[in-house]
Structure 1
Amino acid sequence: MSITLKDDSSSEDEGVMLKRVYKDAKHSKKNSKRVKNDLPNGNSDSDEDEDIIHAARKKQKREKKGKKPKTEDGEKVLKEIHNNGDEKGTNTSEPNGRKKVKKEKTPKVRKIKKEEAKYDDEDEDTMLAKIASQSAVVKSPSWASSVDFREPSEDFKWWENQDNEDDTIKWKTLKHNGVIFPPAYEPLPAHVKLYYDGKPVDLPPQAEEVAGFFAAMLESDHVKIPTFQKNFLRDFLAVLKENGGTRNGVEIKAFDKLDFTKIFEYFQVQKEQKKQLSPQEKKQLRLEKEEFEKPYKFCEIDGRLEQVGNFRIEPPGLFRGRGAHPKNGKLKRRVYPEDVVLNLDKEASIPEPPKGHKWGEIRHDDTVQWLSMWRENISNSFKYVRFAANSTLKGMSDFRKFEKARMLKDHIDKVRTDYKSKMKSPKTLDRQMAVATYLIDVFALRAGGEKSDDEADTVGCCSLRYEHVTLRPPNTVVFDFLGKDSIRFYQEVEVDTQVFKNLKIFKRPPSGPGHQLFDRLDPSILNKHLQNYMPGLTAKVFRTYNASKTMQDQLDLIPNQGTVAEKILKYNAANRTVAILCNHQRTVTKGHATSVQKASERIEELEWQKVRYKRAILQLDKSQQKKNPKYFKEIDDLSKEEELTIHKRIIEREREKYKRKFERENDKRKFDKEDPIPDSQLLEWLGKVDDLEKLYERESKTGKVELRESLQDVDKLKLQIEKLEKRITNSAVQLKDKEDNSTVALGTSKINYIDPRLSVAFCKKFDVPIEKVFTKTLRDKFKWAIESADENWKF
Structure 2
Amino acid sequence: MSSVSGTTSDDDRPLVSTPAKNGNHHVVNGNGASNGARGSSPMTSDDDDMPLSQSTRTKSEPATPSVRNLKRKKAFDSDSSDDDVPLASSPAKSAAVPMPGAVSATTVPASAVNGKTRGTKSKREIATDSEDDEPLPAKKGAANGKPRQPPKKKMKQESEDDTFYDSGDVMPLPKEKAPPRAKRKVKLEEDFGYSSEEEKPAKKKRATTKKTLAKKVKGEDQDADVASGSETPKARKRATKAKAKKEESEQPEKKGRGKKKKEETEEPEEVYKWWEKGANDSGEKWQTLEHNGVCFPPPYEPLPHYVKMRYNGQDVNLSPESEEVAGFYAKIIETDHAKDEVFNQNFFSDWQKVLAKHPPRDGTRIIDFKLCDFRPMFEHFEAEKAKKKAMTAAEKKELKEAKQKAEEKFASCLLDGRKEKVGNFRVEPPDLFRGRGEHPKKGCLKARIRPEDITINIGEGVPIPEPNMPGKWKTIIHDKTVTWLACWTENINGNYKYVFLAAGSSLKGQSDMIKFEKARELKNHVDRIRRDYTENLKNKVMADRQRATAMYFIDRLALRAGNEKGEDEADTVGCCSLRCEHVTLEQPNFIIFDFLGKDSIRYYNRVPVDQQVFKNIRIFKQGKEDHDDLFDRVTTSSLNKHLQNYMKGLTAKVFRTYNASITFQEQLDQGTPEKGTVQEKLVAYNHANRMVAILCNHQRSVPKTHEQSMEKMRDKIRGFKYERMRLRQVLFSIDTTGKLKKKKAYAEDESDMEEDWIVEHEDRLKAKDIERAEKKFAKENEKAAEEGKKPEPESVLRDKIKEIEAEYKQSRKDRLSGKVSSRGTKTVEKVEEAIQKLDEKIKTAKLQMVDREAGKEVALGTR
TM-score, normalised relative to structure 2:
0.65
Q: Is 1:193 aligned to 2:308, yes or no?
A: yes
Could you tell me how far apart the structure 2 residues matched to 1:493 and 1:471 are? Answer: 10
Could you tell me how far apart the structure 2 residues matched to 1:622 and 1:425 are? Answer: 85
Asked if 2 retains the 8 angstrom alpha-carbon contact of 1:612 and 1:705, the reply is: yes
1:100-128 CA deviation, whole Å, 9 max, x = no partner?
Answer: xxxxxxxxxxxxxxxxxxxxxxxxxxxxx
Partner of 2:654: 541
Q: Is 1:158 aligned to 2:274, yes or no?
A: yes
SS at match of 2:606: strand
Which protein, 1 or 2, shows the higher relative CO under an 8 Å CA cutoff with sep ≥ 6? 1
Partner of 1:490: 604
1:768-787 CA deviation, whole Å, 9 max, x = no partner?
Answer: xxxxxxxxxxxxxxxxxxxx
Asked if 1 retains the 8 angstrom alpha-carbon contact of 2:312 and 2:372, the reply is: yes
Distance 1:664 1:526, change over 3 A: farther
Partner of 1:231: 346
SS at match of 1:649: helix
Asked if 2 retains the 8 angstrom alpha-carbon contact of 1:462 and 1:522, the reply is: yes
The letter of the residue matching 1:187 is P
Residue 386 (structure 1) shift: 1.2
- Once the two structures are superposed, the pairs formed by residues 48-447 of structure 1 within 5 Å of their partners are 154-162=270-278, 167-243=282-358, 245-354=359-468, 356-447=470-561
Partner of 1:554: 667
1:143-200 CA deviation, whole Å, 9 max, x = no partner?
Answer: xxxxxxxx9964210111227x762101111111111212222333333323222233
Distance 1:480 1:662, change over 3 A: farther
Could you tell me how far apart the structure 2 residues matched to 1:226 and 1:506 are? Answer: 37
Could you tell me how far apart the structure 1 residues matched to 2:840 and 2:819 are? Answer: 26
Distance 1:472 1:706, change over 3 A: same
Residue 561 (structure 1) shift: 1.3
SS at match of 1:478: strand
Q: Is 1:455 aligned to 2:563, yes or no?
A: no
Could you tell me how far apart the structure 1 residues matched to 2:561 and 2:281 are? Answer: 29
Could you tell me how far apart the structure 2 residues matched to 1:388 and 1:677 are? Answer: 52
Asked if 1 retains the 8 angstrom alpha-carbon contact of 2:565 and 2:571, the reply is: yes
Asked if 2 retains the 8 angstrom alpha-carbon contact of 1:375 and 1:383, the reply is: yes
SS at match of 1:250: coil
Could you tell me how far apart the structure 1 residues matched to 2:720 and 2:583 are? Answer: 51
SS at match of 1:737: helix
Distance 1:259 1:638, change over 3 A: closer
Partner of 2:812: 697
Asked if 1 retains the 8 angstrom alpha-carbon contact of 2:438 and 2:601, the reply is: no
Could you tell me how far apart the structure 2 residues matched to 1:590 and 1:687 are? Answer: 41
Asked if 1 retains the 8 angstrom alpha-carbon contact of 2:770 and 2:804, the reply is: no
- Once the two structures are superposed, the pairs formed by residues 577-596 of structure 1 within 5 Å of their partners are 577-596=691-710
Could you tell me how far apart the structure 2 residues matched to 1:552 and 1:718 are? Answer: 40
Residue 209 (structure 1) shift: 1.8
The letter of the residue matching 1:548 is S
1:449-502 CA deviation, whole Å, 9 max, x = no partner?
Answer: 223333332222122222222211111111222222222222221111111111
Q: Which moved further from structure 2: 486-495 or 553-562?
A: 553-562
Asked if 1 retains the 8 angstrom alpha-carbon contact of 2:486 and 2:498, the reply is: yes
Distance 1:729 1:354, change over 3 A: closer
Aligned counterpart for 1:733 among listed residues 844, 847, 853: 847
Partner of 1:519: 632
Partner of 1:600: 714
Residue 305 (structure 1) shift: 0.7
Residue 516 (structure 1) shift: 1.7
Number of residue pairs matched by the alignment: 594
Q: Unmatched 5+ residue regions in structure 1?
A: 1-150, 753-795
Distance 1:251 1:709, change over 3 A: closer
Distance 1:344 1:523, change over 3 A: same
- Once the two structures are superposed, the pairs formed by residues 26-65 of structure 1 within 5 Å of their partners are none
Residue 746 (structure 1) shift: 2.7
Partner of 1:645: 757
Residue 298 (structure 1) shift: 0.8
Could you tell me how far apart the structure 1 residues matched to 2:419 and 2:405 are? Answer: 17
Distance 1:210 1:542, change over 3 A: same
Residue 659 (structure 1) shift: 2.0
Distance 1:512 1:545, change over 3 A: same
Distance 1:745 1:620, change over 3 A: same
Aligned counterpart for 1:709 among listed residues 806, 824, 833: 824
The letter of the residue matching 2:633 is R
Could you tell me how far apart the structure 2 residues matched to 1:227 and 1:453 are? Answer: 18
Distance 1:666 1:466, change over 3 A: farther
Distance 1:616 1:167, change over 3 A: same
Partner of 1:69: none
1:46-103 CA deviation, whole Å, 9 max, x = no partner?
Answer: xxxxxxxxxxxxxxxxxxxxxxxxxxxxxxxxxxxxxxxxxxxxxxxxxxxxxxxxxx
Residue 420 (structure 1) shift: 0.3
1:676-727 CA deviation, whole Å, 9 max, x = no partner?
Answer: 986556545544542342233212432222222322x222222222222222
Partner of 1:792: none
Asked if 2 retains the 8 angstrom alpha-carbon contact of 1:433 and 1:521, the reply is: yes
Distance 1:199 1:304, change over 3 A: same
Asked if 2 retains the 8 angstrom alpha-carbon contact of 1:654 and 1:689, the reply is: yes
SS at match of 1:536: coil
The letter of the residue matching 1:179 is V
The letter of the residue matching 1:188 is L
Asked if 2 retains the 8 angstrom alpha-carbon contact of 1:342 and 1:371, the reply is: yes
Asked if 1 retains the 8 angstrom alpha-carbon contact of 2:437 and 2:602, the reply is: no
Asked if 1 retains the 8 angstrom alpha-carbon contact of 2:766 and 2:805, the reply is: no
Q: Is 1:528 aligned to 2:625, yes or no?
A: no
Asked if 2 retains the 8 angstrom alpha-carbon contact of 1:278 and 1:667, the reply is: no
Partner of 2:615: 501
Partner of 2:29: none
Could you tell me how far apart the structure 2 residues matched to 1:259 and 1:518 are? Answer: 50
Q: Name the % identity.
A: 48
Could you tell me how far apart the structure 2 residues matched to 1:638 and 1:644 are? Answer: 13
SS at match of 2:322: helix
Asked if 2 retains the 8 angstrom alpha-carbon contact of 1:280 and 1:671, the reply is: no
Q: Which moved further from structure 2: 668-677 or 269-278?
A: 668-677
The letter of the residue matching 2:603 is F
Partner of 1:19: none
- Once the two structures are superposed, the pairs formed by residues 470-485 of structure 1 within 5 Å of their partners are 470-485=584-599
SS at match of 1:571: helix
SS at match of 1:384: strand
Asked if 2 retains the 8 angstrom alpha-carbon contact of 1:182 and 1:312, the reply is: yes
TM-score, normalised relative to structure 1:
0.70
The letter of the residue matching 1:502 is N
The letter of the residue matching 1:219 is E
Could you tell me how far apart the structure 2 residues matched to 1:746 and 1:564 are? Answer: 20
